[in-house]
Structure 1
């Protein structure tokens, strides 16, 4: 039951009269029944954007803020100087779980699930940044717990609230480009160092950082500035690479408009980084500088859809219908939908659909809007969650939807890891001639319902992870 309904249903006469109407106290007063009490974990970097977005909503009151890095969190802390501050989310939980209605998680990928699940099981509404989780097992678990508890959830893929993605769906549903056979998606990520050699040495831990808490479920290792801030995205133990960073934004449009569900096949090829002649710079630890991923989906309306992903400066083929000087997507990326009757191009985040060739737009009559819009579009994504917590409307990206979307994105990473994976031969050193067993490029066959790769057992180890003792996710 949402907070507003609970108060209305359970308040006696005395309590009812104690909630003074807002016009009596002044126009800026928000009564308790319309206030969402929130704790935010991970409030530096992207998390600071979450705090800023919530701070502009008059219906939100912060109970506590938490971050392992005092320096990175400084901006959020200054915005709310009187709010309780923590480094350890577990202490925040112990002290405030009965005072909050909802929580947000804006930490690195590898700690999303371990932080969110205790709060979710306590039936606190959840806003978690994209990708929803670090691995497929966690995404399935988060979606299941959200369903079991009935809480309001939202993943931080803001484009899911945009007008453009709804417009793209209306166009596709109208049949303007026919049956979709292929979608090419691309991004300019990584925009951080990626493909670095393994790090074995350490550096002094900065005084403002709790390194052990930052590691969370990842296995212990020395601190190094190559990991953070932001650069953690390029290391498999912490991040999910360019695909994990942007897939939930860019693949969002085909996933939603075509009803993709789980892929049944995944294949990848990636850049190899060399540290010397015939000596690879890394193996198994770091995400590659660039990759191509090919996913295949079975859909009810379009049959098999092939979705191809490109990152690290690699681009899909430019359509012949594209004029000289015209672009597909925007700076961050985009998609091209290939149908039996034509092509449609969308941008990252906003959707912003348009047909190719562009001259088609001169006489194309857009379908009448049939899908409900979100107030303020993608800029209203976090407010959409707040309103849902208070009044029970449906969010744009609830975990029942965001979980499968994240799983599809991370399935691409399984294919990348399968391409990268190498084993040292007979105890030889990486500098020896042909030192690795190369499994080679392979297609992974995926049983989505069973959450299992059926043709390469090693890949099933990457469906979950090896959790550090005391940080297990169950």
Structure 2
């Protein structure tokens, strides 16, 4: 059994950066690294549709929103009503070029395809970054982000993973890390998405090209993607179903169901292979009804063998409870994480409902002996706290977000080659047994002026 981590060790191992920074508060135009009087942390927001991110961060007593950037003039105007003194612009590049001295941290709440160009621009300008999930859109961008955070170790980063504040999810991490359930055999994670809801183009309906609305700068919205016509079923949110812009259900929910597996096992660095069974993919959209197996080579007493597989599915394709030794026939949620160990099964809902099953007997996960107290945790405020030098449990820094996103993107990208095992070499950014996959799903041909910068 691996020793139980103390609370201090637990926080340190989750990658919370910036604990050594002075508790400096910042005003517009100030630098985090300059000594001076107590000020307030100034934050720029790129993508104002993410109202919860903006509202939660603005509620922190040591933070203020000083800038707003959005390609949607209507959304920008609504956000400006809440922050009338903030500068406004439509182009994120202008935000950094003209207003970069006004802010020291950035919230990136934009569609998936523009996450990496904006976040990496922020890191290149020495800005702390809160970025929405999934962390990036292309496999190559994971390597770009990892190099950037290695080059900028004092910058505090956080992926939008608010569900990790739930006590049950934090307890699940400690249970896995302690080894109290014995060596791990396999993991299962699944999401009910995509569904026939406002967030996905569930039926893959491709409407006719039309002129973009007057309030949308569609060219800026496209950003790194190649030019194409505007279609009414693309904005404001159904881009999630589009191959070039979103990540489907597997990508959209990945950080909320895969996270605990990676927090529980530091040994899961980069997969060796992926295979996704899926319906025949469409050219424009992500397919759904995907079942993916992501395999890791491991050499640790935390695992029962030399290979560890994560089975990740969409459309509520859950494993058999009977096959896992669990009674009943229904799982408690459509978004779940299950880790099977030699001494029991950990079952966790996205909302933090934690069950431990041993020999078919149920134990309340939060009632296991030896767990610390899990006090209230504000996911957004933890990011601010760590920037200003107040050590707070931080979930999910980009270091961990990169591992989670790599697994998710491999599952997503492999759906273009249904049923084919793809052998992954992260160092080479290549599928060693599949040249076509390497050439088509690892990287993007960025449009001139929108490529992410190389940092470090």
TM-score for the superposition, normalised by structure 2: 0.84
**What is the CA–CA distance in structure 1 between the aligned matches of 2:32 and 2:253, rounded to whole Å?**
42
| Structure 1 SS opposite 2:129 | strand
**What is the CA–CA distance in structure 2 between the aligned matches of 1:448 and 1:10, rounded to whole Å?**
38
Alignment partner, residue 432 of structure 2? 454
Residue 263 (structure 1) shift: 1.3
Please list the CA deviations of residues 265-292 of structure 1 after superposition, one character each: whole Å capped at 9, or x if unmatched. 10011124xxxxxxxxx73321013211
Residue 306 (structure 1) shift: 1.4
**What is the CA–CA distance in structure 2 between the aligned matches of 1:174 and 1:141, rounded to whole Å?**
32
Alignment partner, residue 12 of structure 2? none
Residue 271 of structure 1: which of 239, 260, 279 is its match?
Answer: 279
Alignment partner, residue 41 of structure 2? 36
Residue 253 of structure 1: which of 257, 260, 263 is its match?
Answer: 260
Alignment partner, residue 287 of structure 1? 286
Are 2:185 and 1:187 aligned?
Answer: no
Residue 363 (structure 1) shift: 11
**What is the CA–CA distance in structure 2 between the aligned matches of 1:10 and 1:106, rounded to whole Å?**
28
* Number of aligned residues: 416
**What is the CA–CA distance in structure 2 between the aligned matches of 1:468 and 1:412, rounded to whole Å?**
25
Alignment partner, residue 431 of structure 1? none
Report the structure number with the largest CA radius of gyration: 1
| Structure 2 SS opposite 1:360 | strand
For the Cα contact (< 8 Å) 2:355–2:365, is it kept in 1?
no
Residue 149 (structure 1) shift: 1.8
Alignment partner, residue 343 of structure 1? 345
For the Cα contact (< 8 Å) 2:121–2:452, is it kept in 1?
no
Residue 126 of structure 2: which of 123, 140, 146 is its match?
Answer: 123
**What is the CA–CA distance in structure 1 between the aligned matches of 2:70 and 2:212, rounded to whole Å?**
16
Residue 61 (structure 1) shift: 1.1
How do residues 93-108 of structure 1 correspond to structure 2 at under 5 angstroms?
A: 93-108=96-111
| Structure 1 SS opposite 2:88 | strand
For the Cα contact (< 8 Å) 2:67–2:86, is it kept in 1?
yes
390 and 173 in structure 1: CA distance in 2 versus 1, 3 angstrom threshold = closer
**What is the CA–CA distance in structure 2 between the aligned matches of 1:181 and 1:5, rounded to whole Å?**
46
TM-score for the superposition, normalised by structure 1: 0.81
Please list the CA deviations of residues 77-108 of structure 1 after superposition, one character each: whole Å capped at 9, or x if unmatched. 32212322211112221222112111110000
| Structure 1 SS opposite 2:387 | helix
5+ unaligned residues in a row in structure 1: which ranges? 20-30, 273-281, 420-440
The higher relative CO (CA closer than 8 Å, separation ≥ 6) is in: 2
How do residues 312-331 of structure 1 correspond to structure 2 at under 5 angstroms?
A: 312-319=315-322, 321-324=325-328, 327-331=330-334
177 and 73 in structure 1: CA distance in 2 versus 1, 3 angstrom threshold = same
Alignment partner, residue 354 of structure 1? 356
Are 2:167 and 1:163 aligned?
Answer: yes
393 and 140 in structure 1: CA distance in 2 versus 1, 3 angstrom threshold = farther
